[in-house]
Structure 1
Amino acid sequence: MKNINGQGNEITIILPHKKIDCISSHHEQFNQIIHQSHIIITGNNNHVSMHFDSEENVEKLLLNEGFLLIIKGNDNTVNLGTIILRYSNILGMSGLKLIIGQLPGLGAGVSRVANNCRVDIGNRLVINGVTLYLQEDKSNVSIGEDSQLSWGIDIWCTDAHTITNLKGEPINFAQSIEIGKHVWVGKDVKIGKNTKIPDNSIVGWGSIVTKVFNEPNIILAGIPAKIVKRGINWDRRCINKYLLE
Protein backbone atom coordinates (compact mmCIF):
# COMPACT_ATOMS: atom_id res chain seq x y z
CA MET A 1 0.00 0.00 0.00
CA LYS A 2 1.36 3.40 -0.97
CA ASN A 3 0.13 5.00 2.25
CA ILE A 4 1.79 2.38 4.51
CA ASN A 5 5.59 2.37 4.41
CA GLY A 6 7.98 0.35 6.56
CA GLN A 7 8.30 -3.10 8.09
CA GLY A 8 6.16 -4.87 10.66
CA ASN A 9 3.25 -2.41 10.56
CA GLU A 10 -0.23 -3.75 11.35
CA ILE A 11 -3.73 -2.39 10.84
CA THR A 12 -6.37 -4.61 12.41
CA ILE A 13 -10.12 -4.20 12.02
CA ILE A 14 -12.03 -5.86 14.85
CA LEU A 15 -15.68 -6.74 14.19
CA PRO A 16 -18.07 -8.52 16.60
CA HIS A 17 -17.30 -11.97 15.18
CA LYS A 18 -14.01 -11.62 13.33
CA LYS A 19 -10.66 -9.87 13.22
CA ILE A 20 -9.07 -8.78 9.94
CA ASP A 21 -5.41 -7.96 9.34
CA CYS A 22 -5.67 -5.35 6.60
CA ILE A 23 -2.02 -5.36 5.51
CA SER A 24 -0.80 -8.96 5.41
CA SER A 25 -4.12 -10.64 4.55
CA HIS A 26 -5.67 -10.81 1.10
CA HIS A 27 -9.08 -9.45 2.12
CA GLU A 28 -9.61 -7.29 -0.95
CA GLN A 29 -12.56 -5.29 0.42
CA PHE A 30 -10.75 -4.03 3.51
CA ASN A 31 -7.40 -3.67 1.78
CA GLN A 32 -9.05 -1.30 -0.67
CA ILE A 33 -10.69 0.72 2.11
CA ILE A 34 -7.34 1.19 3.88
CA HIS A 35 -5.71 2.15 0.57
CA GLN A 36 -8.38 4.82 -0.03
CA SER A 37 -8.41 6.07 3.56
CA HIS A 38 -6.55 8.96 5.15
CA ILE A 39 -4.31 6.60 7.12
CA ILE A 40 -0.61 7.28 6.54
CA ILE A 41 2.09 5.28 8.30
CA THR A 42 5.83 5.80 7.85
CA GLY A 43 8.07 3.71 10.08
CA ASN A 44 8.34 0.23 11.53
CA ASN A 45 6.36 -1.95 13.93
CA ASN A 46 3.42 0.42 14.33
CA HIS A 47 0.16 -1.22 15.40
CA VAL A 48 -3.33 0.18 14.79
CA SER A 49 -6.46 -1.61 16.05
CA MET A 50 -9.94 -0.30 15.26
CA HIS A 51 -13.22 -1.66 16.62
CA PHE A 52 -16.48 -1.52 14.68
CA ASP A 53 -20.04 -2.70 15.31
CA SER A 54 -20.54 -3.63 11.64
CA GLU A 55 -18.74 -3.83 8.28
CA GLU A 56 -20.82 -0.88 7.08
CA ASN A 57 -19.33 1.32 9.80
CA VAL A 58 -15.78 0.45 8.70
CA GLU A 59 -16.24 2.21 5.39
CA LYS A 60 -18.35 4.95 6.97
CA LEU A 61 -15.49 5.97 9.29
CA LEU A 62 -12.34 5.26 7.32
CA LEU A 63 -13.54 6.96 4.13
CA ASN A 64 -14.93 9.93 6.05
CA GLU A 65 -13.23 13.20 5.03
CA GLY A 66 -13.03 14.03 8.71
CA PHE A 67 -10.87 11.04 9.68
CA LEU A 68 -7.08 11.38 9.50
CA LEU A 69 -4.49 9.12 11.11
CA ILE A 70 -0.80 9.87 10.57
CA ILE A 71 2.05 7.97 12.22
CA LYS A 72 5.70 8.83 11.59
CA GLY A 73 8.00 6.80 13.80
CA ASN A 74 8.47 3.31 15.19
CA ASP A 75 6.77 1.03 17.72
CA ASN A 76 3.66 3.17 18.19
CA THR A 77 0.27 1.75 19.20
CA VAL A 78 -3.22 3.11 18.47
CA ASN A 79 -6.35 1.40 19.85
CA LEU A 80 -9.55 2.97 18.55
CA GLY A 81 -12.88 1.90 20.01
CA THR A 82 -16.30 2.30 18.44
CA ILE A 83 -16.83 6.00 17.80
CA ILE A 84 -19.39 8.29 16.20
CA LEU A 85 -17.53 10.79 14.05
CA ARG A 86 -19.23 13.98 12.89
CA TYR A 87 -17.87 16.06 10.05
CA SER A 88 -19.45 19.25 8.69
CA ASN A 89 -17.74 22.16 6.94
CA ILE A 90 -20.82 24.30 7.51
CA LEU A 91 -20.76 23.84 11.29
CA GLY A 92 -16.97 23.67 11.58
CA MET A 93 -16.99 20.05 12.74
CA SER A 94 -13.62 18.72 11.58
CA GLY A 95 -13.87 15.11 12.77
CA LEU A 96 -10.77 13.44 14.20
CA LYS A 97 -7.16 14.18 13.30
CA LEU A 98 -4.84 11.79 15.17
CA ILE A 99 -1.17 12.52 14.52
CA ILE A 100 1.92 10.83 15.94
CA GLY A 101 5.19 12.41 14.85
CA GLN A 102 4.84 14.58 11.78
CA LEU A 103 2.27 17.34 11.52
CA PRO A 104 1.11 17.77 7.91
CA GLY A 105 1.94 21.03 6.17
CA LEU A 106 5.16 21.84 8.07
CA GLY A 107 7.04 22.27 4.82
CA ALA A 108 10.29 20.96 3.37
CA GLY A 109 13.18 20.43 5.75
CA VAL A 110 11.00 19.93 8.84
CA SER A 111 10.91 16.31 9.98
CA ARG A 112 9.52 15.13 13.29
CA VAL A 113 9.36 11.55 14.49
CA ALA A 114 7.82 9.98 17.60
CA ASN A 115 8.51 6.46 18.87
CA ASN A 116 6.89 4.17 21.45
CA CYS A 117 3.77 6.30 21.81
CA ARG A 118 0.36 4.92 22.72
CA VAL A 119 -3.19 6.17 22.11
CA ASP A 120 -6.25 4.40 23.57
CA ILE A 121 -9.72 5.68 22.67
CA GLY A 122 -12.67 3.91 24.30
CA ASN A 123 -16.02 2.77 22.96
CA ARG A 124 -19.15 4.87 22.41
CA LEU A 125 -17.33 8.16 21.89
CA VAL A 126 -18.94 11.04 20.02
CA ILE A 127 -16.25 13.16 18.33
CA ASN A 128 -17.13 16.36 16.48
CA GLY A 129 -13.81 18.11 15.94
CA VAL A 130 -10.59 17.03 17.65
CA THR A 131 -6.90 17.28 16.78
CA LEU A 132 -4.81 14.89 18.86
CA TYR A 133 -1.03 15.29 18.52
CA LEU A 134 1.87 13.34 20.04
CA GLN A 135 5.44 14.33 19.23
CA GLU A 136 7.63 13.20 22.13
CA ASP A 137 8.81 9.59 22.49
CA LYS A 138 6.85 7.43 24.97
CA SER A 139 3.88 9.81 25.11
CA ASN A 140 0.49 8.36 26.08
CA VAL A 141 -3.05 9.60 25.54
CA SER A 142 -6.18 7.80 26.74
CA ILE A 143 -9.83 8.79 26.37
CA GLY A 144 -12.38 6.75 28.31
CA GLU A 145 -15.57 5.20 27.01
CA ASP A 146 -18.90 7.00 26.66
CA SER A 147 -17.29 10.43 26.39
CA GLN A 148 -18.39 13.31 24.19
CA LEU A 149 -15.99 15.76 22.55
CA SER A 150 -17.30 18.91 20.89
CA TRP A 151 -15.38 20.73 18.14
CA GLY A 152 -12.44 23.09 18.01
CA ILE A 153 -10.67 20.84 20.53
CA ASP A 154 -6.87 20.49 20.58
CA ILE A 155 -5.28 17.70 22.62
CA TRP A 156 -1.51 18.19 22.44
CA CYS A 157 0.78 15.85 24.35
CA THR A 158 3.71 18.14 23.53
CA ASP A 159 4.78 21.78 23.55
CA ALA A 160 6.24 21.22 20.04
CA HIS A 161 9.37 23.17 21.00
CA THR A 162 11.93 22.73 23.78
CA ILE A 163 12.01 24.74 27.02
CA THR A 164 15.29 24.56 28.95
CA ASN A 165 16.65 25.69 32.27
CA LEU A 166 19.62 28.05 32.35
CA LYS A 167 21.99 25.09 32.00
CA GLY A 168 20.40 24.20 28.67
CA GLU A 169 18.66 21.09 30.05
CA PRO A 170 15.14 20.34 28.71
CA ILE A 171 12.40 20.74 31.32
CA ASN A 172 9.17 20.26 29.36
CA PHE A 173 9.10 16.53 28.59
CA ALA A 174 5.70 15.11 27.67
CA GLN A 175 4.30 12.12 29.55
CA SER A 176 0.58 11.58 29.30
CA ILE A 177 -2.92 12.93 28.90
CA GLU A 178 -5.75 11.01 30.57
CA ILE A 179 -9.40 11.79 29.87
CA GLY A 180 -11.64 9.59 31.99
CA LYS A 181 -14.87 7.75 31.27
CA HIS A 182 -18.06 9.68 30.51
CA VAL A 183 -16.37 13.06 30.11
CA TRP A 184 -17.96 15.93 28.17
CA VAL A 185 -15.39 18.29 26.64
CA GLY A 186 -16.92 21.55 25.41
CA LYS A 187 -16.24 23.59 22.30
CA ASP A 188 -12.79 25.17 21.71
CA VAL A 189 -11.17 23.46 24.71
CA LYS A 190 -7.39 22.99 24.71
CA ILE A 191 -5.81 20.14 26.69
CA GLY A 192 -2.05 20.18 27.27
CA LYS A 193 0.52 17.57 28.21
CA ASN A 194 0.70 15.84 31.60
CA THR A 195 -2.95 16.41 32.46
CA LYS A 196 -5.90 14.39 33.72
CA ILE A 197 -9.66 14.92 33.53
CA PRO A 198 -11.53 12.53 35.87
CA ASP A 199 -14.61 10.39 35.20
CA ASN A 200 -18.10 11.88 34.87
CA SER A 201 -16.79 15.41 34.47
CA ILE A 202 -17.33 18.39 32.16
CA VAL A 203 -14.82 20.84 30.69
CA GLY A 204 -16.43 24.20 29.91
CA TRP A 205 -16.34 26.04 26.59
CA GLY A 206 -12.98 27.62 25.72
CA SER A 207 -11.10 26.28 28.74
CA ILE A 208 -7.40 25.35 28.79
CA VAL A 209 -6.53 22.30 30.90
CA THR A 210 -2.95 22.44 32.21
CA LYS A 211 -2.76 20.08 35.20
CA VAL A 212 -3.99 16.86 36.82
CA PHE A 213 -7.45 16.71 38.43
CA ASN A 214 -8.36 13.56 40.38
CA GLU A 215 -11.78 14.32 41.90
CA PRO A 216 -14.60 12.87 39.73
CA ASN A 217 -17.97 14.51 38.97
CA ILE A 218 -16.67 18.06 38.57
CA ILE A 219 -16.99 20.94 36.14
CA LEU A 220 -13.70 22.48 35.01
CA ALA A 221 -13.66 25.91 33.40
CA GLY A 222 -11.38 28.86 32.80
CA ILE A 223 -7.85 29.70 31.65
CA PRO A 224 -6.20 27.80 33.18
CA ALA A 225 -9.04 25.42 34.01
CA LYS A 226 -10.03 25.03 37.64
CA ILE A 227 -12.87 23.33 39.51
CA VAL A 228 -15.95 25.56 39.42
CA LYS A 229 -18.57 23.01 40.52
CA ARG A 230 -18.60 19.66 42.33
CA GLY A 231 -21.10 16.82 42.66
CA ILE A 232 -22.40 16.83 39.08
CA ASN A 233 -23.03 14.38 36.27
CA TRP A 234 -24.33 14.81 32.72
CA ASP A 235 -26.47 13.16 30.04
CA ARG A 236 -26.29 13.34 26.23
CA ARG A 237 -29.99 14.14 25.91
CA CYS A 238 -31.24 17.72 25.92
CA ILE A 239 -33.23 18.76 29.00
CA ASN A 240 -36.62 18.39 27.28
CA LYS A 241 -35.95 14.78 26.27
CA TYR A 242 -34.30 13.98 29.60
CA LEU A 243 -37.40 15.11 31.52
CA LEU A 244 -39.79 13.26 29.21
CA GLU A 245 -37.90 9.98 29.29
Structure 2
Amino acid sequence: MLKKILKLVLSYINRFILCIRKKAHVVNSELVLVNIFSKDKSNIIEFINSSVMKTHVNIIGRNNNIIIKGNHKNLNINIFGDNNKLELGFETKSINGEIIVRGHDCLLSIGNKTTFGKRAYIVCMGESNKILIGKENMFADNIEIWNTDSHPIYDLSGTLLNPSKPIVIGNHNWIGKNVCILKGSVISDNVVIGMASMISGQKIYPNTLNVGSPIRCIKNNINWERNFIQK
Protein backbone atom coordinates (compact mmCIF):
# COMPACT_ATOMS: atom_id res chain seq x y z
CA MET A 1 0.00 0.00 0.00
CA LEU A 2 2.79 2.41 0.94
CA LYS A 3 4.65 1.59 -2.27
CA LYS A 4 1.53 2.36 -4.32
CA ILE A 5 1.01 5.70 -2.57
CA LEU A 6 4.67 6.64 -3.11
CA LYS A 7 4.37 5.79 -6.80
CA LEU A 8 1.29 8.00 -7.12
CA VAL A 9 3.06 10.89 -5.38
CA LEU A 10 6.13 10.57 -7.61
CA SER A 11 3.90 10.39 -10.67
CA TYR A 12 2.10 13.59 -9.66
CA ILE A 13 5.40 15.40 -9.07
CA ASN A 14 6.81 14.17 -12.40
CA ARG A 15 3.71 15.28 -14.32
CA PHE A 16 3.70 18.65 -12.55
CA ILE A 17 7.37 19.32 -13.40
CA LEU A 18 6.94 18.37 -17.06
CA CYS A 19 3.79 20.47 -17.43
CA ILE A 20 5.10 23.53 -15.58
CA ARG A 21 8.22 23.49 -17.76
CA LYS A 22 6.02 23.00 -20.83
CA LYS A 23 8.00 19.89 -21.77
CA ALA A 24 5.01 17.60 -22.35
CA HIS A 25 1.25 17.34 -22.58
CA VAL A 26 -0.02 14.69 -20.16
CA VAL A 27 -3.52 13.14 -20.29
CA ASN A 28 -4.63 10.40 -17.90
CA SER A 29 -1.09 9.06 -17.53
CA GLU A 30 1.19 7.83 -14.78
CA LEU A 31 4.78 9.06 -15.16
CA VAL A 32 7.59 8.15 -12.78
CA LEU A 33 11.19 9.27 -13.33
CA VAL A 34 10.50 10.48 -16.88
CA ASN A 35 13.10 12.95 -18.12
CA ILE A 36 12.73 15.05 -21.28
CA PHE A 37 15.48 17.08 -22.97
CA SER A 38 14.19 19.32 -25.75
CA LYS A 39 15.44 22.87 -26.24
CA ASP A 40 13.14 23.80 -29.12
CA LYS A 41 9.55 24.67 -28.20
CA SER A 42 8.24 23.44 -31.57
CA ASN A 43 8.75 19.82 -30.47
CA ILE A 44 5.59 18.19 -29.08
CA ILE A 45 5.60 15.31 -26.58
CA GLU A 46 2.30 13.78 -25.48
CA PHE A 47 1.52 11.07 -22.94
CA ILE A 48 -2.03 9.75 -23.35
CA ASN A 49 -3.50 6.92 -21.22
CA SER A 50 0.01 5.70 -20.53
CA SER A 51 2.15 4.33 -17.72
CA VAL A 52 5.80 5.27 -18.23
CA MET A 53 8.68 4.70 -15.81
CA LYS A 54 12.41 5.45 -15.83
CA THR A 55 12.29 6.79 -19.37
CA HIS A 56 14.53 9.35 -21.09
CA VAL A 57 13.46 11.39 -24.12
CA ASN A 58 16.11 13.40 -25.99
CA ILE A 59 15.19 15.59 -28.97
CA ILE A 60 17.65 17.61 -31.00
CA GLY A 61 15.81 19.36 -33.83
CA ARG A 62 12.54 21.12 -34.65
CA ASN A 63 8.87 20.24 -35.21
CA ASN A 64 9.17 16.67 -33.96
CA ASN A 65 6.12 14.92 -32.50
CA ILE A 66 6.17 12.07 -29.97
CA ILE A 67 2.93 10.41 -28.83
CA ILE A 68 3.13 7.69 -26.17
CA LYS A 69 -0.06 5.82 -25.26
CA GLY A 70 1.16 2.53 -23.78
CA ASN A 71 3.07 1.00 -20.87
CA HIS A 72 6.83 1.45 -21.04
CA LYS A 73 9.69 1.02 -18.59
CA ASN A 74 13.36 1.95 -18.99
CA LEU A 75 12.77 3.28 -22.50
CA ASN A 76 15.28 5.57 -24.21
CA ILE A 77 14.02 7.72 -27.08
CA ASN A 78 16.45 9.79 -29.16
CA ILE A 79 15.28 12.03 -32.01
CA PHE A 80 17.80 13.85 -34.21
CA GLY A 81 16.46 16.05 -37.00
CA ASP A 82 13.30 17.89 -38.01
CA ASN A 83 9.64 17.03 -38.68
CA ASN A 84 9.85 13.46 -37.43
CA LYS A 85 6.96 11.60 -35.78
CA LEU A 86 6.98 8.72 -33.29
CA GLU A 87 3.74 7.14 -32.10
CA LEU A 88 3.38 4.25 -29.64
CA GLY A 89 -0.24 3.09 -29.68
CA PHE A 90 -2.68 2.21 -26.92
CA GLU A 91 -1.69 -0.77 -24.74
CA THR A 92 1.73 -1.07 -26.34
CA LYS A 93 4.41 -2.39 -23.99
CA SER A 94 8.22 -2.38 -23.83
CA ILE A 95 10.97 -2.98 -21.25
CA ASN A 96 14.56 -1.69 -21.54
CA GLY A 97 14.01 -0.62 -25.14
CA GLU A 98 15.72 2.01 -27.26
CA ILE A 99 14.31 3.99 -30.16
CA ILE A 100 16.44 6.17 -32.43
CA VAL A 101 15.06 8.42 -35.18
CA ARG A 102 17.68 10.31 -37.17
CA GLY A 103 16.82 12.39 -40.21
CA HIS A 104 13.93 14.49 -41.49
CA ASP A 105 10.23 13.74 -42.08
CA CYS A 106 10.57 10.19 -40.76
CA LEU A 107 7.66 8.21 -39.27
CA LEU A 108 7.90 5.41 -36.71
CA SER A 109 4.48 4.05 -35.75
CA ILE A 110 3.68 1.07 -33.49
CA GLY A 111 0.03 -0.04 -33.42
CA ASN A 112 -2.28 -0.74 -30.52
CA LYS A 113 -1.63 -3.78 -28.30
CA THR A 114 1.76 -4.51 -29.84
CA THR A 115 4.20 -5.67 -27.18
CA PHE A 116 7.98 -6.05 -26.94
CA GLY A 117 9.99 -8.16 -24.52
CA LYS A 118 13.25 -6.88 -23.07
CA ARG A 119 15.86 -4.89 -25.02
CA ALA A 120 14.17 -3.98 -28.29
CA TYR A 121 16.35 -1.72 -30.45
CA ILE A 122 14.61 0.20 -33.23
CA VAL A 123 16.36 2.58 -35.65
CA CYS A 124 14.58 4.75 -38.22
CA MET A 125 16.92 6.90 -40.32
CA GLY A 126 16.93 8.89 -43.54
CA GLU A 127 14.71 11.31 -45.44
CA SER A 128 10.94 10.59 -45.31
CA ASN A 129 11.73 7.04 -44.22
CA LYS A 130 9.32 4.86 -42.25
CA ILE A 131 8.91 1.95 -39.87
CA LEU A 132 5.25 0.97 -39.69
CA ILE A 133 4.27 -1.75 -37.22
CA GLY A 134 0.63 -2.79 -36.99
CA LYS A 135 -1.51 -3.88 -34.08
CA GLU A 136 -1.47 -6.91 -31.76
CA ASN A 137 2.05 -8.02 -32.64
CA MET A 138 4.14 -9.92 -30.09
CA PHE A 139 7.91 -9.34 -30.17
CA ALA A 140 10.14 -11.44 -27.90
CA ASP A 141 13.40 -10.28 -26.26
CA ASN A 142 16.42 -8.80 -28.06
CA ILE A 143 14.67 -7.65 -31.22
CA GLU A 144 16.51 -5.35 -33.65
CA ILE A 145 14.71 -3.36 -36.35
CA TRP A 146 16.81 -1.18 -38.69
CA ASN A 147 15.52 0.55 -41.83
CA THR A 148 19.02 1.80 -42.60
CA ASP A 149 22.65 0.72 -42.79
CA SER A 150 23.50 3.84 -40.73
CA HIS A 151 26.59 4.77 -42.77
CA PRO A 152 26.78 5.35 -46.55
CA ILE A 153 28.61 3.17 -49.05
CA TYR A 154 29.44 4.65 -52.48
CA ASP A 155 30.81 3.28 -55.71
CA LEU A 156 33.88 4.96 -57.15
CA SER A 157 31.75 7.42 -59.14
CA GLY A 158 30.11 8.64 -55.94
CA THR A 159 26.72 6.92 -56.35
CA LEU A 160 25.13 5.84 -53.08
CA LEU A 161 24.83 2.05 -52.99
CA ASN A 162 22.88 1.52 -49.77
CA PRO A 163 19.98 3.98 -49.37
CA SER A 164 17.64 3.55 -46.43
CA LYS A 165 14.31 1.80 -47.14
CA PRO A 166 11.01 1.53 -45.22
CA ILE A 167 9.99 -1.45 -43.10
CA VAL A 168 6.34 -2.50 -42.93
CA ILE A 169 5.07 -5.06 -40.40
CA GLY A 170 1.39 -5.97 -40.42
CA ASN A 171 -0.94 -7.20 -37.67
CA HIS A 172 -0.91 -10.19 -35.29
CA ASN A 173 2.63 -11.41 -35.89
CA TRP A 174 4.83 -13.34 -33.46
CA ILE A 175 8.50 -12.39 -33.77
CA GLY A 176 10.83 -14.72 -31.85
CA LYS A 177 13.80 -13.92 -29.67
CA ASN A 178 16.97 -12.42 -31.22
CA VAL A 179 15.32 -11.69 -34.57
CA CYS A 180 16.79 -8.95 -36.77
CA ILE A 181 14.58 -7.10 -39.28
CA LEU A 182 16.46 -4.98 -41.80
CA LYS A 183 15.60 -2.28 -44.33
CA GLY A 184 13.10 -2.99 -47.10
CA SER A 185 11.47 -5.88 -45.24
CA VAL A 186 7.71 -6.44 -45.46
CA ILE A 187 5.99 -8.79 -43.02
CA SER A 188 2.32 -9.47 -43.71
CA ASP A 189 -0.35 -10.54 -41.17
CA ASN A 190 -0.50 -13.61 -38.92
CA VAL A 191 3.14 -14.54 -39.42
CA VAL A 192 5.50 -16.42 -37.09
CA ILE A 193 9.24 -15.68 -37.29
CA GLY A 194 11.48 -18.21 -35.53
CA MET A 195 14.20 -17.42 -33.01
CA ALA A 196 17.43 -15.82 -34.28
CA SER A 197 16.11 -15.33 -37.82
CA MET A 198 17.11 -12.44 -40.09
CA ILE A 199 14.76 -10.70 -42.54
CA SER A 200 16.79 -8.57 -44.94
CA GLY A 201 14.53 -6.94 -47.52
CA GLN A 202 12.31 -9.96 -48.13
CA LYS A 203 8.52 -10.06 -48.25
CA ILE A 204 7.02 -12.50 -45.74
CA TYR A 205 3.60 -13.77 -46.77
CA PRO A 206 0.57 -14.08 -44.45
CA ASN A 207 -0.25 -17.19 -42.41
CA THR A 208 3.28 -18.59 -42.66
CA LEU A 209 5.96 -19.96 -40.34
CA ASN A 210 9.43 -18.68 -41.25
CA VAL A 211 12.90 -19.41 -39.87
CA GLY A 212 16.59 -18.97 -40.57
CA SER A 213 19.21 -16.51 -41.74
CA PRO A 214 18.48 -15.85 -44.54
CA ILE A 215 14.78 -16.30 -43.75
CA ARG A 216 12.76 -19.03 -45.46
CA CYS A 217 9.19 -20.27 -45.21
CA ILE A 218 8.82 -23.78 -43.77
CA LYS A 219 5.05 -23.95 -43.27
CA ASN A 220 1.98 -22.35 -44.88
CA ASN A 221 -1.59 -21.95 -43.63
CA ILE A 222 -0.72 -21.53 -39.95
CA ASN A 223 -2.30 -19.60 -37.10
CA TRP A 224 -0.99 -18.75 -33.63
CA GLU A 225 -2.25 -17.52 -30.25
CA ARG A 226 -0.71 -15.45 -27.45
CA ASN A 227 -1.65 -17.81 -24.62
CA PHE A 228 0.93 -20.33 -23.38
CA ILE A 229 0.99 -23.79 -24.94
CA GLN A 230 -0.81 -26.50 -22.96
CA LYS A 231 0.50 -29.69 -24.62
| Fold similarity call, TM over 0.5 | yes
TM-score scaled by length of structure 2: 0.78
Give the conservation status (yes or no) of the 8 Å contact 2:92–2:112.
no
Structure 1: which 5+ runs fail to align? 17-29, 88-94, 102-113
* Greater RCO (CA < 8 Å, at least 6 residues apart): 1
CA distance in 2, matches of 1:183, 1:74: 31
Matched, 1:209 2:199: yes
Using a 3 Å threshold, how does the CA distance of structure 1 residues 76 and 161 change in structure 2: closer, same or farther? same
Matched, 1:118 2:89: no
Match of 1:43, as an amino acid?
G
Q: Residue in 1 aligned with 2:130?
A: 140
Deviations 1:155-188 (A, max 9, x none): 0111112122342200211120111100111011
SS in 2 for 1:161: coil
Matched, 1:3 2:31: no
Match of 1:117, as an amino acid?
C
SS in 2 for 1:175: coil
SS in 2 for 1:70: strand
Q: Residue in 2 aligned with 1:71?
A: 79
Deviations 1:36-65 (A, max 9, x none): 73111111000111224xxxx5xxx3xx22
SS in 1 for 2:42: coil
Using a 3 Å threshold, how does the CA distance of structure 1 residues 172 and 15 change in structure 2: closer, same or farther? same
Matched, 1:98 2:99: yes
Q: Residue in 1 aligned with 2:68?
A: 50
Q: Residue in 2 aligned with 1:234?
A: 224
User: Displacement of 1:96 after TM fit?
Assistant: 2.0
Give the conservation status (yes or no) of the 8 Å contact 1:44–1:75.
yes
User: Displacement of 1:86 after TM fit?
Assistant: 5.1
Alignment of 1:195-206 (within 5 A): 195-206=185-196
User: Displacement of 1:119 after TM fit?
Assistant: 0.6
SS in 2 for 1:3: strand
Alignment of 1:25-64 (within 5 A): 37-52=55-70, 61=72, 64=73
Structure 2: which 5+ runs fail to align? 1-22, 24-35
Q: Residue in 2 aligned with 1:14?
A: 48
Using a 3 Å threshold, how does the CA distance of structure 1 residues 86 and 12 change in structure 2: closer, same or farther? closer
Q: Residue in 2 aligned with 1:188?
A: 178
CA distance in 2, matches of 1:166, 1:81: 44
Matched, 1:221 2:211: yes
Q: For this pair of structures, how many residues does the alignment match?
A: 196
Give the conservation status (yes or no) of the 8 Å contact 2:69–2:92.
no
CA distance in 2, matches of 1:210, 1:78: 23
Deviates more, 1:158-167 or 1:43-52: 158-167
Give the conservation status (yes or no) of the 8 Å contact 2:84–2:107.
yes
Give the conservation status (yes or no) of the 8 Å contact 1:138–1:175.
no
Higher share of residues assigned strand:
2
Deviations 1:15-43 (A, max 9, x none): 39xxxxxxxxxxxxx9xx89x73111111
Q: Residue in 2 aligned with 1:153?
A: 143
CA distance in 2, matches of 1:48, 1:151: 24
